[in-house]
Structures are given as C-alpha cells and as structure tokens.
Structure 1
Amino acid sequence: MLIQVALAVPLFRHFDYLPMASGLPVIGARVLVPFGAQKLVGIVIGHIDEAQSEVPKNKLKAILSVIDDEPIFDDRLLSLANWLSNYYHYPLGDVLSVMMPKLIRQGKPLDLLTTHWRILPSATEADLPARAHKQQAQFAMLKLHGEHGASEDVLLMEGMERSFLTMLEKKGMIERFEKPKAPPKPVSLAKLPLTLTGEQQAVVDAVIGAHESQSYAGILLNGITGSGKTEVYLQAMQHVLEAGQQVLILVPEIGLTPQTRARFASRFAANIVLLHSAMNPTHRLQGWQDCKSGHAQIVIGTRSTILYPFTNLGLIVVDEAHDSSYKQQDSLRYHAADVALYRGAGLKIPVILGSATPSLEHLKLVDDGKLSEYQLLKRAGGASTAKMKLIDARLQSTYQQTTPDGERYNTGLTDALIDAIRRTLDAGEQVLIFLNRRGYAPILLCEACGWQADCPRCDAHLTVHFSNQLINQGNLSQSYLKCHHCDWQSYIPPVCPDCQSQNLDARGMGTTRLSENLHAIFGNPQTSKTVYPIIQIDRDTTRRKDSWEKIYRQINEGKPAILVGTQMVAKGHHFPNVTLVCLPNADRGFLSADFRSPEHTAQLMIQVAGRAGRGDKAGQVLIQTLQPENPLLLKLIRDGYLPFAQALLAERKVMGLPPYRFAALVRCEAKTLAAANQALKDAIAILPKPHHLAVLGPIDAPMTKKNSRYHVQLLLLAKERRQLHHVLNHWWSQVLQLPSAKYLKLTLDIDPISW
C-alpha cells in the first residue's frame, strides 16, 4: 500500500509516498515527508494500492516520520476541507494548511498539558520591593491559590500579568509546572435569564426545536440594534450547553471578543475559549486543541475559527453576519458565514445569522426559502429607536476655531452639530462622532504649485499622521506620512519637493484632526467652562495590548465624553450613556463606483446610529450632508434599512448583478501592466465554448498600482452557480499553466465582495 499526502504547495494534486516499516499512518494524521530538497509536514488523505499510483515505485520516496498516532482531521473535517477546495478552487494541501494553526503546521506534537504556577515555600512578600504595590497585590492573588497553584489561564483571567509571572520565576519565588487538563465541569447558569418578548421566544423555540430533532436550521435573526439579539443567543445556547454540546460564536472584530466573553461569562459557568489572530501561536494551539478535545464549551472567535475542529458542536452563531470582515481577502478566500451554513447543514445543527442590517445575499436566501427569517422590531427594555435627522451643510455655517496664533480654521463641523454636542455633554451624556478615516488628514497639498504627497508604490495619496499634543511633548515620531495600503512611510517635508514653497497644507480630516478640533472646543479650559475628555478610537489608538479594554472601561464609566471613532465603534458595542451620534461625512459612500458601496454605507450608518439611546435615555442621530436630496440617503432615513435593501435588490435583479448572478473574480498581479493584461487576455482565449458566461475585462483594478505591482482583473458572471463552477473546474488549472502567467500572481475569488 502507498500513502497519499496533501502538502501545502500551490499544486492541484496530492503526492504518493512509501510507508515506514512500522506500518501505515492513519488517514487525517500528520506526516513528515521529503519534497525535493525540503522536508514538509503533510496530511494523510488516503491509502492506495501500488498499481493505482501514477508514479513508478522505484521513484517513490518513503515518509520520514509519523507525527500523530490519532487523526487530527476526522472524516467530517476532511469532508469540509474537500468542499472548501472544490468550491473555492484552491489546492487541498493549502486548504488543510489554512485550517491548522502555525505550530501544528510546523509539526509540533499535540498534548493537553497546561502551564500552572505555584509559589515556592521559601518565597514571601518581603522579597518584593515595599513600594511595588502592584507586585505585592499580584503576589497576594497568587498566594490565595495555595501550594497547589493555579493554571496560567485562570491567573490571566483574574488580572495577573504574564510578565509579572516571568519576573517572579527569574527571582526564584515561583515555579511553573505542567498538568494534564481536567475534563470541564457541566455548564451551569451563573445568572438567571431575562424574560423574553414574544418575538425573541419564537427564535429560541425554533433553535431548540431544530436541536432536539437533530436537524439543520438556517436562521436569519433580523433584529434592529438594541433589540436583544444577544439574549436570544444566550437562551438558545443554554439548551445546547445543558445537553453537553459545544457552542461557537463568531464575531467580526478582535475588539468585540473581550466584551462578548464578559457577557457570556456573566451568564454561564463554563469553559470559554477566545480565538483570534492577535493571540500568540502557543495560545492558538491550545485553543485549537480545546475545541477538538471538547474542553472548550463556549468558543468565541473571529472568522478563522469556523475552520477549527469540534468534538460535539451543537450550535453556531454568526453575530453581525453582514460584516465584510467575515470574507477572507487572501489565500483561501472563503466567507465565514457561508462556511458556517455549510458546516451546520453537515452536522445537522442550527445556525443563527444575527444582524440589524442583513446583507442582500442573506435576504435573497430568505426569499429563496433557504433561510428562515425572524424579526425583532422593538428595542429591549422599552428603549426607543434613535431618531435620525439630516443637517444640510450647504445651509449651515461651519464652526470656526481660533488657534493660539489668532488664525481661524474650519473644524469641518456645522454650528448646529456643535450646539447639539454641547447640549448633550451639558446634560451629562456622551456623544459618538463617526468618521471612517484615521490619521490627521488624507492629503498633503502644496498651495503654491499643487503638488500632492503620493505613495511611490501605490496609486494612493499618503495620509498625514500628526498630533499637536504629542509634538508639543517632544514626540516627533508621531509626525509622518503613511500609505494605508502598503505601509510605506516618510517624514513630512518642511517644504514642497517641487517648488520649495513652505505653503504645505493638510487637506481633509481624519480622526486625529477631528479629535484635536473637538479638544480645542470642548477640552480646553480657555474655551470651555467644563472640560470634557475626547476619546479617539481607531487602529492607531488601539494597537497596543489591552488598549481597547482600557478605552472601553473609560467609556462605560458613563461620564460625559466625546467618542471619535472609525468603523471599530459601529459593531455590536453597548455604550449605555451615548445619546447623540453624529456622522459629519455621510456623502462619500453613496458616490462610490463600487456597486456594493450603497449597501455597505447604509449598513455602517444604521450600525453606528444603533449606538445611540441604548440605555434608558432617548437617542438622536445627526447626519451632516452636502447632498440631502440624495434619493438613496432619503429612502434610508425615511423608510429604514429593510425597504432600502429591498429597493437595492430590485435594482440588482434588473442589472443582473449578485445575488442574482454568481461571480468569480480573477486578479492578476505583475511587474508591468502589459504583462498582467496579456495573461488575462490569454485566459479569456482558452475559455471553453460555449460557456454562457458574461466576461467583463480585463480591466484595471480599482487600485491599479499597489506595493509597486500592477493589478488587473477579470470578472465572470453566470446565471447559475453550477454553470460557473463547471467552467472553472477545468479552465482555472489551465490558466495557471499559461506561458504568459509564469512569474505572475494569479488568484481566483469566488463570490467576491468588491471589484
């Protein structure tokens, strides 16, 4: 017998190897094999007779070692991998590689040992500096666990810092040791559930009914912001957890995982595992093993978690299911919500897609009878929906601010918006201002000759990153130009490189500039009777570890403050004292060339608006616009999201666009534009005929030059999904073998979300 092995190489095939003398490794196990001059870790996917191999036996190599005695990929997980490979037209070996954390791909042995810490008998508080109050407090916390110590996970949840443990170990005060993981205790309620409304109870009953009958149910939970979707998740989970099964909760952003964990931990006494890309490789490995072994009872993770193994999964919840971050944009370009529905159908378990602004694709699935829709139309606790109001920026004067030098500048906010912010703060409430553009300003312009600071590697302007407060503190590193597409950076020039003029002006507004403008108005004791904090929330301010948690705690203290944030603040956060939401730049999304932009803009606006009035106070949303007569904007404000979405669906149907057509996008990346275009022209030439597909391209990508490479794309549209994949099954592998495609990067994106 021979062994078939899938390897993480960009080839649509598997590889045959001779077994070791000890026998055949089990299917689904990892093996170390020779591959050319390399040694690679692969997955055993089959056993075959020698006669079935296309390679002569004298040319076959033997595997080097067997890493796993038991399969790490069971039949169901291998079936999922094969479906992902076939649907997304991605090599099986690469699919399996994506499904494994880094350390497993590298061949690290699996175990269920956990790190524990205990105090050595000779250690006392006197060994620590007397004034190191934080160290004294953390040592006392560890001491409470006695001579047997505690696991590192427990200590970290209690607030212990890993650096402190390492420091004590170096001092010889504590020691680490490994212990096998004990099976988790049965899940119990830590807090009684709330009383459900009739709408909420209908959803919970549907989930329980599907679970008890061991049947698949795809549920679209269409609930307005603040309608109690999380309570529905909790009570649906309770039934599954009490039956001894696991629950997977997917969230779109890393920032939501700690908040979500806290809410679920307050309801259930259970082993809750967090999984996201910011974790170090060791913790990702431990989380993967906990999912596979069943130690993890509640799993909260971002999109890649849907590819993890589960021993007894009973329910999948995809929160904010409309969010575009569920779509992987490189390597295996899967959509986590689609994979969740596929896994649910295979496991015969319920899957909940929760959203206040469902995607058009999910609404189409409801129309087709493939999802059951349940609506939550009222906010929980009797809270009223925030009222939305347009401010015509053409008819309003813009608030002018005076600098210490006596110069006046435009804040970008109308007087009406400033007055509303001031009234809200004076009432002891919080304001959220949404601006989906980080940095200080998007453009650096020379007023003398018109020069602009552009990225030398991309077709994009460099964003100005600048902070007056940090510059005044002597931190000059906070002043620079940066490309948000390739991360290229440079210093801000003192004069124009073209004409040597000093009249360089930062045009436009990012979150940093807006925060400084607001600080000058509301946070400066010289201009404001009461000084209010300005809290900036974007990738720049939340990059450091635990920074988002600290910001979140500050907001939830409930003190009057202004929150300035990007789309990070739009997703599922609960700020009970925010009563006013301002959108000072609501026009951009409705003017984009991307046909999906109106949908995504409307979702973002509704999600941000949903942060207002979530407590016991009424909320208001002010939308500052230069186009108050825009029909799409008016329909969204007057009729709400669902009628707006139905209008977009009707438009898409007439135009023959997704979700009424099925799309595949071929992207080509090359050193020259001509080479990329030629490769796609050659690809079109070998399409089978007749193919009955709409072929659009080759055309330049929305950003033609990125990171010193040129990008061109080709769009294929089909009336039927089967029709599209029938063509791709044979054509795509031929495209990759084209002579003109050599040394180019060609990728295929099934169901792309933008082009």
Structure 2
Amino acid sequence: MLLQVALPVPLYRVFDYHPLADKAILPAVGSRVEVPFGRQTLIGIVIAHIAEANSDVPSNKLKPIIRQLDDEPILNSQMLNLAYWLARYYHYPLGDVIAVMLPSLVRQGKPLDLLITHWRILPHVADGDFRANAIKQKQQFDMLKLHGERGASEEVLLLEGMQRSFLKTLEEKGLIERYIEPKAAPKAVSLAKMPLDLNAEQAQAVDAIIAVHKAEEYTGFLLNGITGSGKTEVYLQAMQAVLEAGKQVLILVPEIGLTPQTRARFASRFAAQIVLLHSGMSNTYRMQGWQDCRTGHAQIIIGTRSAVLYPFANLGLIVVDEAHDVSYKQQDSLRYHAADVALYRGFQESIPVVLGTATPTLEHLKLIDDGKLTECQLRTRPGNAELATMQLIDARLQSTHQQAQDDGARFDTGLTDVLIGAIKQTLEAGDQVLIFLNRRGYAPVLLCDACGWQADCPRCDAHLTVHYNNSSQQHSSQNSASHSSAYNSNYLKCHHCDWQAYIPTSCPDCASQNLDARGMGTTRLSENLHAIFANPQTSKELYPIIQIDRDTTRRKDSWENIYQRINEGRPAILVGTQMVAKGHHFPNVTLVCLPNADRGFLSADFRSPEHTAQLMIQVAGRAGRGDKAGRVLIQTLQPENELLLKLVKDGYLSFARQLLAERKIMGLPPYSHAALIRCEGKTLAATTQALKDAIANLPAGHKLAVLGPIDAPMSKKNSRYHVQLLLLAKERHQLHRVLSIWWQPVLAMPSVKYLKLTLDIDPVGW
C-alpha cells in the first residue's frame, strides 16, 4: 500500500509515498507526515491509502515518508470533504486548501498537546512582600489571589486584564510560580444571567432556529433585523438550547475589534468555555484554540472568517453576524467567502446557520426569493424604541463653517453650519456624537498650488496620504505654505503598498513652498473639531474628540481602551472610519453625521451603491440605541440623487429591491455567476498578452460572457502591473464546467511564466 499525501505546494495534484518499513500500521488518513520533496522536506496530510498498482508513478521511483507525526487523524472525514469541496468550488490546489485550514504551528509539524500554563501564588508569600511604590505589581498579585490556591490558567488571567510581563516579574521575585497541567474536560454550560423578554418577532425567530436544531436538520436563516432590533438576544436564546444539548456554537464576526466586545456579551450570559480566534492572536494561542475546537474543550467559539475552516468536535449552530460585510471575503490565497462556507458547513453537519444583518446583500435576498434561505424579520426595536430619523443637508445652499485660528487666520472645517449647530446642541444635552468619515489620515493628497504637482506613490497608481504623527496632531493649520516646517516631523504614506516618505518643504518640480494638503481624513477632521469644541478660547465646555481608525487602534488593547472611554457616557465626539459601523453598541450616541455621503454613489464599481448604502445604514444604526431618540444628518452635494433619496425615504430593503431589479435587467450577479482572473507582472504588455492567450484557449461553445482584458481598478500596485479578465455565466454549473477544463492549462501556458495569475470565484468587486 502507498500513502497519498496533500502538500502545501501550488500544484493541482497529490503525491504518492511509501510508508515507513518498520511500521506495521499505516499512518491514518487525515494525519500529518513529514516527507521529502525535491531538496526540501514538507509537512503534508495523508488523504488516502492506495494500492501500488493504482499509482501513476513506478514504485521504484517513489520515496518513503520521513516520519509520522500523529497517531490519530487531526482532520476527520468531514474536514477532508470540506477541503475537497473548497478545492473544487474555488479551483484551488487541495494541498494549499488544507494549508489554509491549519494554523501555522500545525502546518510546521508542532506537537498537539493540551498542556496549558497555570499560575499560582507560592504558599509562603504574604501581602506585605511588596514595596510601597509597587502599586501595579500589587494590583496584579491581588487579581491572581482571587483565584485561590490553585491559581488560574494564563489564558484566563490575560483575558481578565493581567499582563504577561507582570507575571514574569512576580515569578522572578519568588512570589508566584507557573505549572503545567492538562486541560480538563469542560463543565456543562450554565446560565450566568437570565435571558431578556422577547417580543413576538424575536420569539418566532428563536423558535424556528431551535426547531431545526432539535430536528438535526440543515436550514439557512436570514435574520433580517433593523439596527438595534435585538438580533444578539435571538442568537443568545437560540444558543442556549444548543449549548444545553452539549454542542458547540460558532459565532463569526467581521472584524477583530468586535471579538472582545462580543466575548463580553456572551460571557455575561453563559458560564462556558469561550475561545477567541483571529489573526491578532499569537501562533501558540491560535493552535491551542484550534485544538480546543477539535477536541470539544471550546464550547462557544468567536472568530473572524478563518474560524469557519476550523474542525469541531460537536458543532450545533453557526451564527454569522453582520453577514453582509465584505470582510468575510478572503482577498488572497484561497479566496473563499466565510458566509458561503458557513452555509455549506451547516448543510454538511445538518445544523442551522443564522446570517444576521440589518442590510442583507442582494445575493442573500435572491436566495430568499429562490427558497434557499428562510427569512426571519425583526422590524421593531425592543421597548418600541424608534429608529433614528434621517435628514439630508444640501451643502450647495450653504458654505461650510469657517473657524478662526489662534493667529486670526480662518480655515474651512468641511462641515456646514447646520451640522456644527446640531453637534453643539447634542453635546450640550449631555449626549455623544458620531461623525463617520471613511478616510483615515490627515488628507488624501498633497498638492502644489503653483504648478499642480501631486504627491503620488512611486510604486502604485495612487496618491500618497498625508499623515501627522502624535507630536503634531494638535497642529490645526490647514495651510501648509505658512506652516511648512511642521511637515518635517510628519510623513506621506501609500495605503496600498505602505511606501512612506517625509513630507517635502517645497515642491520637487518647481521649488514652490505653496504645498497644500487637500481633502480631509479622520485626523484632519478631529483637529478641526478640536479647534471648535475642545479649545478653551472658542468653547466654554471642552469635549473630548475620540478618533477611531486603524491608526489609533494599532496598539494592543487600544480599541478596548477607546471602547471603555466611550461607554463612560460623558459627552464626546467620536470620529471614525467603517470600524465604528460594525455592530458596536454606543448607548449614549444620539446624533450621527455623515459629512461626505456622495463618494460611494459615484464609483465605477457596480456594487458600490449597495456597499455604500449598507455602510450608511449601519453607521446610522449607532444612533438612538439607548433610551433617547436618535437622528442622522447626511451632508451631500447631490441631494437629488435618486438612489440616495430612495435610501433615506423608503429604507434599505426597498432600495435593495430596486437594485436587485436593475441587476436582473442587466444580467449582473446575483442573476449571473462570475469568475475574475487577475494577472500581475512587471510589464503591462506581458500581463495583457497572457490574458489574451487565456481567452484564445477558452473551449469552443463555452456560452460565457468574456469582458477584458482590461486594467484593474488599480493598474499598478507595488511596482507591478495588474490586468483582469471577467467571465460571466447565466448558470453556475456552466461557469465551473469551463473552469474545470480551462484553468489548469492556462496556468501552464508559456506566456504566463514569471507572471502571477489568480482566480477569484464570486468576486465582491471588479
């Protein structure tokens, strides 16, 4: 017998090996083995045992494996079937699919033990063993003391807020010790807090999900609930029945920033083993989490998109929160969509899958129409709280607010007087304001007023974004000509390839010092608001301006600290990108402002109106989630835009149905099925020619619409040129039948050599 092994190499095949001669039993299917591969050794997964006669390679040319890493399979038959499905549907090599499914340490062949580090106080240690100035050490010591003689696991302590550095310091001082202990089987899940009362719509949704769970059947649910309608309470009460039956629950969230908040919400309801899984975790923690899912130690699993590929001992329910979010689509390597994979896993495991959202995608609405998803609507908020009212502000009828600086000069805030007045009124009432601007940095472009030079990225077809570092963020000047010296301590950055440079003091083309940072990002908007609402010379009350974007949440625990500041409830202005739009609960926000509502409706991407509307509704849903009514002010230069008016007057569902009707007429997804081929190379001519050759190799009578080759939306990125080709089919099977016989020969074409060719099934944009 031979072993068929899937290896993490970009080849659409598996490899045959002899087993070890001194082993009487073959390595199990689904277990890891180390094998020779050319001049290197690789870790692969055994996917089958075959007879020598069935191998394509003569037996005398096959090599034996080097060693067997697992006595038992780490991937069961269901997980291998999932890998086969992913490889077929996304036309991706099986070995690379399995590599994506495994944490890095598992791929590297590390042992899978369930030993975990615990910490406890040494018996002879007393409270008086601390110096008077060792306040933080004493606080950390007292936290550990609460866990008694046996102490607690490092995982639990870190989640409670202890710091690993303090644990090591206390250990060095001989006050505490670490010890290793196998993980015990988890206790049965119990309620830590009683459920809330449900309204009729919520109760109907919970009953439907539980009925499917008890029948041990698959059903995909679209929990279509307006923002603040209590979708999370539906999740919690549906989960209760699943957890009490001894099964696991997987909750997917679109962003890392949502995982701590979601964990706190579920931990307050259930006494259970909760595991967080996302890319911000260490490799060791992620491997432990993967193993906990596989063995059943994890009872509630909260993770980002990759968690849907993890193995589970006894999965009973999958919840995809904010299911419309494009973050669920992987944009490199295996380009899967986590919501689609979740539905397949539910079908595979015969369990319910809940897609929760206030703004369903057009694809999900089409699945409802086709009877492939069951819709549960939540149209009211608990306690009959009203949705925030939406109002358009015509920015053409009034100039934006001009604010005086300390030196008497005036600058444009980018906000109309109506918006400024509403913000002031809200703050004086003791409430919070959220201003949404989906553009981080200080300004999107640096321009020379004398000759028109723009600061562009030398490696991409993109402008460099102007950034100010922390030391100069109080600098509120809008005129770089009079404050050019301030630029020396700041930088320009490309948000696509991360190229950075100092901001010049004069124009590289004409030597003029009239350099102007044009446009507005979150940093500039925060400074403008600081000048109005946090400057003692212009404001009687000083209100904090809290900036929320990738720049301010990069450090560990930064988002948790920001969230804590917001939930203190004091009047404040929150300035954020799309990070603030996704599922956050800010009970004291009663006013949401969108100062730049036009950009998304003007994009060339046909999906942009849908994504823009989803984002606007999600942001608007942050207002009025507490006891007070909320309102949303949308500043626009196109108040007569039909799509914008439709969204504001009739709501998202009516807006989405109109877009769906237009898509049907135009034959665009979801009424057709797409594959996007991208080619990347050093020259535009080579990449374009490769896709022309690919088109020439399409099988005769393929019945596909072929669009391209054309330049990608960003034709040059990181010094490489990008060209794309779009294939559209009326029926899904037509598209995949062509790809199954066409894609691999395309990769072998001579013109593709030295180029990078990728295939994206069901792309979210092109």
TM-score, length-normalised on structure 1?
Answer: 0.99
Q: Verify the 8 A CA contact 1:681 1:698 in the aligned structure 2.
A: yes
Structure 1 residue 475, shift from structure 2 partner = 10
Query: Aligned residue for 1:681?
Result: 692
Query: Aligned residue for 2:507?
Result: 496
Q: Does residue 259 of structure 1 match 2:261?
A: yes
Query: Aligned residue for 2:86?
Result: 84
Query: Aligned residue for 1:540?
Result: 551
Partner Cα separation in structure 1 for residue 240 and residue 67 of structure 2: 44
Do the aligned partners of residues 348 and 478 (structure 1) sit closer, same or farther apart at CA in structure 2, a change above 3 Å counting? Answer: farther
- 5 Å-filtered alignment, 1:343-382, equals 343-382=345-384
Structure 1 residue 175, shift from structure 2 partner = 2.1
Partner Cα separation in structure 2 for residue 217 and residue 478 of structure 1: 57
Task: From 601, 607, 615, give the equivalent of 2:618.
Answer: 607
Q: Does residue 560 of structure 1 match 2:571?
A: yes
The amino acid of 1:87's aligned partner reads Y
Query: Aligned residue for 1:2?
Result: 2
Query: Aligned residue for 1:716?
Result: 727
Query: Aligned residue for 1:459?
Result: 461
Query: Aligned residue for 1:652?
Result: 663
Query: Aligned residue for 1:574?
Result: 585
Partner Cα separation in structure 1 for residue 291 and residue 312 of structure 2: 9
Structure 1 residue 517, shift from structure 2 partner = 0.2
The 10-residue stretch of structure 1 (615-624 or 143-152) with the greater mean CA deviation from structure 2: 143-152
Partner Cα separation in structure 1 for residue 565 and residue 370 of structure 2: 45
The amino acid of 2:708's aligned partner reads G
Task: From 672, 686, 690, give the equivalent of 2:701.
Answer: 690
Do the aligned partners of residues 610 and 693 (structure 1) sit closer, same or farther apart at CA in structure 2, a change above 3 Å counting? Answer: same
Do the aligned partners of residues 37 and 426 (structure 1) sit closer, same or farther apart at CA in structure 2, a change above 3 Å counting? Answer: same
SS at match of 2:757: strand
Partner Cα separation in structure 2 for residue 125 and residue 492 of structure 1: 54
Q: Verify the 8 A CA contact 1:465 1:478 in the aligned structure 2.
A: no
Partner Cα separation in structure 2 for residue 738 and residue 364 of structure 1: 38
Partner Cα separation in structure 2 for residue 475 and residue 54 of structure 1: 68
- 5 Å-filtered alignment, 1:213-228, equals 213-228=215-230
Q: Does residue 18 of structure 1 match 2:18?
A: yes
Task: From 483, 489, 511, give the equivalent of 2:494.
Answer: 483
Partner Cα separation in structure 2 for residue 477 and residue 193 of structure 1: 57
SS at match of 1:71: coil
Task: From 158, 163, 169, give the equivalent of 1:156.
Answer: 158
Task: From 34, 38, 49, give the equivalent of 1:36.
Answer: 38
Q: Verify the 8 A CA contact 1:432 1:562 in the aligned structure 2.
A: yes
Partner Cα separation in structure 2 for residue 502 and residue 578 of structure 1: 42
The amino acid of 2:608's aligned partner reads S
The 10-residue stretch of structure 1 (700-709 or 160-169) with the greater mean CA deviation from structure 2: 160-169
Task: From 506, 509, 512, give the equivalent of 2:520.
Answer: 509
* C-alpha RMSD over aligned residues: 1.3
Query: Aligned residue for 1:726?
Result: 737
Partner Cα separation in structure 2 for residue 170 and residue 12 of structure 1: 53
SS at match of 2:149: helix
The 10-residue stretch of structure 1 (497-506 or 156-165) with the greater mean CA deviation from structure 2: 156-165
- 5 Å-filtered alignment, 1:232-247, equals 232-247=234-249
Partner Cα separation in structure 1 for residue 146 and residue 337 of structure 2: 46
Q: Does residue 597 of structure 1 match 2:608?
A: yes
Do the aligned partners of residues 444 and 694 (structure 1) sit closer, same or farther apart at CA in structure 2, a change above 3 Å counting? Answer: same
Structure 1 residue 172, shift from structure 2 partner = 3.4
Do the aligned partners of residues 513 and 705 (structure 1) sit closer, same or farther apart at CA in structure 2, a change above 3 Å counting? Answer: same
SS at match of 1:344: helix
- 5 Å-filtered alignment, 1:83-122, equals 83-122=85-124
Structure 1 residue 156, shift from structure 2 partner = 1.7
SS at match of 1:717: strand
Do the aligned partners of residues 499 and 161 (structure 1) sit closer, same or farther apart at CA in structure 2, a change above 3 Å counting? Answer: same
Partner Cα separation in structure 2 for residue 260 and residue 465 of structure 1: 32
Query: Aligned residue for 1:470?
Result: 472
Task: From 725, 732, 736, give the equivalent of 2:747.
Answer: 736
Structure 1 residue 468, shift from structure 2 partner = 7.6
Structure 1 residue 47, shift from structure 2 partner = 0.4
Q: Verify the 8 A CA contact 2:474 2:527 in the aligned structure 1.
A: no
Q: Does residue 621 of structure 1 match 2:646?
A: no
Partner Cα separation in structure 2 for residue 158 and residue 571 of structure 1: 24
Q: Verify the 8 A CA contact 1:319 1:354 in the aligned structure 2.
A: yes
Tell me how many residue pairs correspond in the alignment: 755
Q: Verify the 8 A CA contact 2:595 2:634 in the aligned structure 1.
A: yes
Q: Verify the 8 A CA contact 1:467 1:512 in the aligned structure 2.
A: no
Do the aligned partners of residues 145 and 199 (structure 1) sit closer, same or farther apart at CA in structure 2, a change above 3 Å counting? Answer: closer
The amino acid of 1:732's aligned partner reads W
Q: Verify the 8 A CA contact 2:437 2:522 in the aligned structure 1.
A: yes
Q: Identity across aligned pairs (percent)?
A: 76
Q: Does residue 441 of structure 1 match 2:446?
A: no
Structure 1 residue 378, shift from structure 2 partner = 0.6
TM-score, length-normalised on structure 2?
Answer: 0.97
- 5 Å-filtered alignment, 1:157-176, equals 157-176=159-178
Q: Verify the 8 A CA contact 1:251 1:319 in the aligned structure 2.
A: yes
The amino acid of 1:31's aligned partner reads V
Task: From 322, 325, 330, give the equivalent of 2:324.
Answer: 322
Q: Verify the 8 A CA contact 2:487 2:505 in the aligned structure 1.
A: no
Q: Verify the 8 A CA contact 1:471 1:478 in the aligned structure 2.
A: no
Structure 1 residue 455, shift from structure 2 partner = 0.1
- 5 Å-filtered alignment, 1:407-426, equals 407-426=409-428
Partner Cα separation in structure 2 for residue 103 and residue 594 of structure 1: 39
The amino acid of 1:348's aligned partner reads S
Structure 1 residue 382, shift from structure 2 partner = 1.8
Q: Deviations over 1:541-569 (max 9, x none)?
A: 00000000010011011100000000000
Partner Cα separation in structure 1 for residue 208 and residue 607 of structure 2: 32
Structure 1 residue 166, shift from structure 2 partner = 1.7
Structure 1 residue 171, shift from structure 2 partner = 3.1
Q: Deviations over 1:391-439 (max 9, x none)?
A: 0000012100112222111100000000000000000000000000000
Q: Verify the 8 A CA contact 1:471 1:479 in the aligned structure 2.
A: no
Q: Verify the 8 A CA contact 2:747 2:757 in the aligned structure 1.
A: yes
Partner Cα separation in structure 2 for residue 684 and residue 177 of structure 1: 62
Task: From 707, 711, 719, give the equivalent of 1:700.
Answer: 711
Q: Verify the 8 A CA contact 2:242 2:249 in the aligned structure 1.
A: yes
Partner Cα separation in structure 2 for residue 391 and residue 237 of structure 1: 43
- 5 Å-filtered alignment, 1:129-208, equals 129-208=131-210
SS at match of 1:147: coil
Task: From 524, 531, 534, give the equivalent of 2:542.
Answer: 531
Partner Cα separation in structure 2 for residue 615 and residue 579 of structure 1: 8
Structure 2 portions without partners, runs of 5+:
476-484
The amino acid of 1:4's aligned partner reads Q
SS at match of 1:390: strand
Partner Cα separation in structure 1 for residue 241 and residue 230 of structure 2: 18
Q: Verify the 8 A CA contact 1:294 1:312 in the aligned structure 2.
A: yes
Query: Aligned residue for 2:479?
Result: none
Q: Deviations over 1:134-176 (max 9, x none)?
A: 1111112223334322211222233211111122223333222
Q: Deviations over 1:553-612 (max 9, x none)?
A: 110111000000000000000000100000000000000000000000000000000000
Do the aligned partners of residues 638 and 676 (structure 1) sit closer, same or farther apart at CA in structure 2, a change above 3 Å counting? Answer: same
